[in-house]
Chain A
Amino acid sequence: MKTARVAYGGAIHVGTEHPDGVRLADGRVVAEEDVVWLPPFEVGTIIALGLNYADHVKELSNELTVTAKDEPLVFLKGPGALVGHRAQSRRPKDATFMHYECELAVVIGKPAKDVKTADAMDHVAGYTVCNDYAIRDYLENWYRPNLRVKNRDTCTVLGPWFVDAADIPNPHALGLRTLVNGVVTQEGSTADMINEIPALIEYLSSFMTLMPGDVILTGTPDGVVNVNEGDEVVCEIEGIGSLQNTIVGDAVFGR
């Protein structure tokens, strides 16, 4: 089952897939472009992984002083950065390198504290797609990655669908790719994660209680490129969804 949260006709609805767009719980069927897509579930703590694909570590290695090591590289984000499918993300005038990151987002379903890998998947409610933009110009070496790079309004896109865990028997065998203006720029597989989902849940739950609605953004593979104003960016994960958004400039925000 895939569900979405959308705004339509003055209210927020849960919708399901329909050949003509989205079917709302009340029976109305609405075209995809006629609803406002919100993040597809009530989002709690947002936990993001840096450098969780071996090839991406290599890609960034000239600016890194560490390589992938035992402890996963985790940072936290706030809810204000989130937008849904088909949203706009702002590229500031002074940015020279703003890139997407297509990531499998894992949604926690039941509280997890000191959970071992063998039981970890019981705590997963489902999945969605995340495009977690970074603006590398703003990277500083204090509590990396700093929030000015990674926690910007409009720069964490989530959706379109929340997909039940039961529908995805193996989340570590999913093709993942990004298209910019229809051209494939990033291609990988969730099979190549350094720390897989059960290991991440064991690690995180060893020091913090994970709650329903918490989401783990599991990192991105090789192939991040700069995006510009006007670009249409689509992040796709096999069986999970195709998350589209558009890059806009400062003028849209009256800056």
Chain B
Amino acid sequence: MTLSNLTVGVPPYRLTGTVYGTLANDRALLEKLGDSIEKPPYKAAPKAPVLYVKPRNTLSTTGASMAMPADVNEMDIGATIGLVIGRVASRLKEEDALDYVSGVTLVADLRVPHDSFYRPSVRFNARDGSCFIGPEVVGLADLPKPDEIALTVFVDGQEQPSVRPQRIRSAAKLLADVTDFMTLVPGDVLLLGIPASMPRVRAGQNFAIAATGIGRLEGVVV
């Protein structure tokens, strides 16, 4: 539950601890749900970004371990990119939204698997130490566009099938839509969105997420 090992090499050189996640930003999820999207409980495809909060008790960084909750057998590894806000971001325009991002990092959002996205319990999302961030925040100038960064996920050293999401909103579009109603401040993190299908991790296993230019984020579930 600490980010103290995390190197933030770009302004504001620290994180606020406010982390917003994004769901249903992968076309594959909507394809998987198919016609059922038009039926209850959803009744329509999402219009606004589907967001959630990772509270501070979840925050963790590379090399940390998470205790598997007693009521859960395995966790989804929600591998994604975290956009680190560099300037106060309110009502951004898509054209220049990325100018407000100072850097990116890797995020492993460990989630209790669930099939309904209507009103899932906060229990699935708020477990202590379940949001791994790191190993560092790398400036955008040194990387491809955030939308083009490819992630590789490993469980016990074994590379997992590629999980590259087909994003409904690009990083810039997401920032524009989110900051229309909520202001992000320097050091806040907005996650680009976990993929529709995710590898899982059990107690006793380790996992890693790697991306060229950002490094390797590692964790253990005990």
Which residues of A are in contact with B by a Cβ distance under 8 Å? Answer: 44-45, 47, 65-66, 71, 73-81, 113, 138, 140-144, 146-148, 151-153, 207-211
Contacts and interface: CB of A to CB of B under 8 A. Distances in A.
Interface in B130-187: 181-185
B188 to A, nearest CB: 8
Interface string B99-138: 0000000000000000001111111001110000000000
A76 B53 contact: yes
B205 interface: no
A114 to B, nearest CB: 10
A141 B43 contact: yes
Interface in B179-209: 181-185, 188
Interface stretch (B4-12, B16-24, B74-82, B211-219): B16-24
Contact of B126 (A113, A148, A207): A207
A45 B41 CA distance: 28
Contacts of A146: 48, 50-51
A65 B116 CA distance: 14
Given A45-B55, A80-B18, A73 B119 contact: yes
B57 A209 contact: yes
A147 B57 contact: no
A209 B18 contact: no
B53 A78 contact: yes
Nearest to A74: B122
Contact of A65 (B40, B53, B121, B181): B40
Contacts of A143: 23, 50-52, 117-120
6 contacts: A76-B122, A77-B53, A78-B18, A80-B184, A143-B117, A208-B58
Interface in B15-68: 18, 20, 23-24, 40-44, 46-53, 55-58
A153 B89 CA distance: 12
B1 interface: yes
In terms of DSSP, what is the predominant structure of the interface of chain A? Answer: loop
Contacts of B41: 65, 141
A80 B49 CA distance: 17
A208 B185 contact: no
A113 B48 CA distance: 34
A233 to B, nearest CB: 20
B182 A147 contact: yes
A156 to B, nearest CB: 11
Interface of B: 1, 18, 20, 23-24, 40-44, 46-53, 55-58, 69, 90, 117-123, 126-128, 181-185, 188
Pick the most buried of A47, A78, A81, A207: most chain B CB atoms within 10 A of its CB. A207
Contacts of B123: 71, 207
A79 B182 contact: no
B33 to A, nearest CB: 11
Contact of A138 (B48, B52, B117, B121): B48
B183 A153 contact: yes
Contact of B55 (A65, A66, A76, A151): A76
Given A45-B53, A153-B183, 7 more contacts: A74-B121, A78-B20, A140-B47, A141-B43, A147-B20, A208-B122, A209-B57
Contact of A44 (B56, B118, B121, B184): B56
Contacts of A141: 40-44, 118
Nearest to B51: A147
Nearest to A203: B123
B127 A208 contact: yes
Contact of A142 (B46, B55, B69, B121): B46
Contacts of B23: 142-143
A150 to B, nearest CB: 10
Contacts of B49: 147-148
A211 B17 CA distance: 14
B182 A142 contact: no
Contacts of B50: 140, 142-143, 146
A142 B122 contact: no
B118 A76 contact: no
A71 B121 CA distance: 8
Contacts of B47: 140
- Top-4 shortest CB links A-B: A76-B53, A45-B55, A147-B51, A148-B48
Contacts of B57: 45, 208-211
A142 B181 contact: no
